[in-house]
Structure 1
């Protein structure tokens, strides 16, 4: 009995470790926003940095952006509105550890990752 229990625990631990190493999601997209110190049309300018903290390439990254209404719009190739979400960098790949940045002027807005596609060939 102890022998079987030992192997079950080892199997369980290995399963958790290997799944943890190979699972990346849009939750591995981190977003930070800081004020630049500039004002445009009486509104503060904000710099948004999106970081892929996953060890895999992610593409088709979308951010929540419902109600986002800047007075200085973001270049559409950087942040393209699509309903309640916005497509980041035209859906291009964001490699592991890479960042994408954009600025806007307006009320502060909290962007959250909404979805992404993880490179299926990634083996971490």
Structure 2
């Protein structure tokens, strides 16, 4: 009887450990970049809407994307994304991006830009 009770308590502890996020592993691949044309034309260039989402249960902060200076003929919201050097951009000023709370920004350029995820910090 004592062994069965010990097993049940161990199983409950494991469940609580996992459900509190401690057992979750987040990866760079959990940061999803989606972009689409907004339908607007700015100075003869199509405008793109970019959405940066996190599909992991744990928030991820200090999300850095490769952006090569973030070319745009219209101002880009610096609170959503800003260049930190000639190749990299910081999303949301480094603040955590939680699941279900994406960061969005617009830019206008002749062609869509790639935004590969370079790094992030998991907050779990």
Shorter-normalised TM range = 0.7 to 0.9
Partner of 2:13: none
Structure 1 residue runs without a partner (length 5+): 1-17
Distance 2:50 2:113 in 1: 10
Structure 1 residue runs of 4 or more that deviate by more than 6 Å after TM superposition: none
Q: 1:54 aligns with which of 50, 53, 56?
A: 56
Q: 2:76 aligns with which of 62, 69, 74?
A: 74
Looking at structure 2, the residues matched to 26 and 73 of structure 1 have their Cα atoms a distance apart, in angstroms, of: 28
Q: Please name the residue that 2:122 is paired with.
A: 118
The number of residue pairs the alignment matches comes to: 101
TM-score normalised to structure 1 length: 0.75
Q: Alpha carbon RMSD of aligned pairs, Å?
A: 1.5
| Partners of 1:26 and 1:61 within 8 A in 2 | no
The answer to whether residue 25 in structure 2 is matched with residue 23 in structure 1 is yes
Measured at CA, do residues 51 and 45 of structure 1 come closer, stay the same or move farther in structure 2, by a change above 3 Å?
A: same
